[in-house]
Amino acid sequence: METISIINAKDHVEQKVKIGVWLTNKRSSGKIAFLQLRDGSAFFQGVVVKNNVSEETFKLAKELKQESSFYVIGTIHEDTRSHFGYEIEIEDIEFVGESDNYPITPKEHGTDFLMDHRHLWLRSSRQFAIMQVRNELIRATYEFFNKEGFIKLDAPILTGSAPEGTTELFHTEYFEKDAYLSQSGQLYEEAGAMAYGKVFSFGPTFRAEKSKTRRHLIEFWMIEPEMAFMHQEESLELQERYIAFLVQNVLDNCEYALDILGRDKEVLKQYTQLPFPRITYDDAIKLLQESGQFPDVKWGDDFGSPEETYLANHFSKPVFVMNYPKSMKPFYMKPHPTRDDVVICADLLAPEGYGEIIGGSERATDPEYLAQQIEAAGLDLKEYEWYLDLRRYGSVPHSGFGLGLERTVTWITGESHIREAIPFPRLLNRIYP
């Protein structure tokens, strides 16, 4: 008899197997018990028929509590009534671990209660499905960048520099010096691009964002590719190929998870159709003004969530908004060749109200311009000497971008809050569990 995972039940129809499981729910009558089971790979039903098992087994089955753990031994059958398609007819149960008064019951719980019990909440089917999609996005990311000839170059997490501005930095001590938790690996990836051509980092980043929104985490994971000898147009093409690849792989490999989530696959399919629309910041402002819904919006404003939602819904596909005002973007972006009020950059806004999932730009190459921008941003030039070296020794046009993993997970799964997209979210008022 083989020990299997639930997800592989389809390969063992009418065979006797053993599976280690937890009980998520149960229903029983005098003659039959239906056990809802999970093992981390999938969810399905176990059926215990009184007349077919020993008296002790039937008694045990009826007494099992939510989230107790045990092995079931029995035969896999097709089950056309359930979405999963298979069930196990149980012959025997080997009890493993007790679970008394599991705090998350099938009734409704408030968000704070669930967040306090995140370590247990992760076991629920929705969380399972979201983590499957998250894992697929991670897997597909490595596949994509390998295929495109990138190497992964890990950026440090403890840093002395602030790529995205100083207001959101987490300060810490580094022996006698000041240090910060990384907001972005970008500057290091730029060094990597000059060394190895096409590189990417993928790691945790930290922002002491004082805002409490559905889109902001304090700790989130970012994928940051950086490409030497590449202008912004070519970078945008790479970005849309990457997004289409991610969505396609979730469609191909996460059908079970998408069904649990109730995510419409036809809607996702649209997001694999390239190209994505491109619109300048100037035109985006005009669109918003003409919509009549944003009477106060004017050139120079940053977009809030309603503006981003309007723009993305206008196109019903992810949309690149290009060339934002220089005043609202970080120091490293390439200035526009003919205008000094905008920079060569683009944010990719996801449809359905999910907001910015990518921020990227072509990078400034002139060391004097950069030194001046660094000082204007109130940063300590000494900490950026190494960065300026990249412009002093064989500087080339280069571009890069950062994709927020959790924003992307939230969008693709159709969740309403980013806290669901990471196993243990760090939020403004939460660092437990």
Residue 239 interaction partner, one of Mg ion, ligand 4AD, none, beta carbon < 5-8 Å per kind: none
Report residue 361 CA to chain centroid gap. 21
Nearer to ligand 4AD, 74 or 400 (CB): 400
Could you give the 3-state DSSP secondary structure of residue 242?
A: helix
Three-class SS string for 58-107?
HHHHHHCCCCCEEEEEEEEEECCCCCCCEEEEEEEEEEEECCCCCCCCCC
> Does position 186 bind ligand 4AD by CB under 6 A?
yes
Beta-strand pair 345-350/355-362: antiparallel
Nearer to Mg ion, 72 or 333 (CB): 333
Please pick, from the candidates 91, 154, 209, 237, the single residue that binds ligand 4AD as defined by CB under 6 A.
209
Please pick, from the candidates 33, 319, 349, 357, the single residue that binds ligand 4AD as defined by CB under 6 A.
357
Shortest Å, Cβ 333 to Mg ion: 11
Shortest Å, Cβ 261 to ligand 4AD: 20
Residue 37 interaction partner, one of Mg ion, ligand 4AD, none, beta carbon < 5-8 Å per kind: none
Nearer to ligand 4AD, 89 or 347 (CB): 347
What does the DSSP 8-state code read for residue 414? T
Q: Which stretch binds ligand 4AD (CB under 6 A): 17-25, 107-115, 380-388, 397-405?
A: 397-405
Task: Kindly compute the dihedral angle of the four CA atoms of residues 8, 10, 11, 14, in this order, to the nearest 10 degrees.
Answer: 120
Q: How far apart are CA 80 and CA 186, in angstroms?
A: 51
Residue 402 interaction partner, one of Mg ion, ligand 4AD, none, beta carbon < 5-8 Å per kind: ligand 4AD
Nearer to ligand 4AD, 85 or 414 (CB): 414
> Does position 402 bind Mg ion by CB under 5 A?
no
Q: How far apart are CA 182 and CA 169, in angstroms?
A: 8
- In the chain, DSSP finds a helix count (H) and a strand count (E) of 13, 17
> Does position 359 bind Mg ion by CB under 5 A?
yes
Shortest Å, Cβ 110 to Mg ion: 32
DSSP string, 394-409: T---EEEEEEEHHHHH
Q: Which residues contact 191 (CB under 8 A, 6 or more apart)?
A: 386, 387, 390
Q: Which stretch binds Mg ion (CB under 5 A): 81-89, 150-158, 172-180, 354-362?
A: 354-362
Q: Which stretch binds Mg ion (CB under 5 A): 269-277, 319-327, 358-366, 376-384?
A: 358-366
- Closest by alpha carbon to 281, among 335, 234, 326? 326
Nearer to Mg ion, 179 or 284 (CB): 284
Instruction: Show the site string, 226-255: x = touches ligand 4AD by CB under 6 A, - = not.
Output: ------------------------------
Residue 406 interaction partner, one of ligand 4AD, Mg ion, none, beta carbon < 5-8 Å per kind: ligand 4AD
Q: How far apart are CA 119 and CA 336, in angstroms?
A: 48
**270-289: which residues touch ligand 4AD (CB under 6 A)?**
none
Nearer to ligand 4AD, 136 or 189 (CB): 189
Q: How far apart are CA 44 and CA 61, in angstroms?
A: 16
Burial 276-286 (b: 16+ CB within 10 A, else e): bebbebbebbe
Q: How many residues bind Mg ion (CB under 5 A)?
A: 1
Q: What does the binding site for ligand 4AD look like in residue numbers (CB under 6 A)?
A: 163-164, 184, 186, 207, 209, 216-217, 220, 222, 224, 356-360, 400-402, 404, 406-407
- Binding positions for Mg ion, rule: CB under 5 A: 359
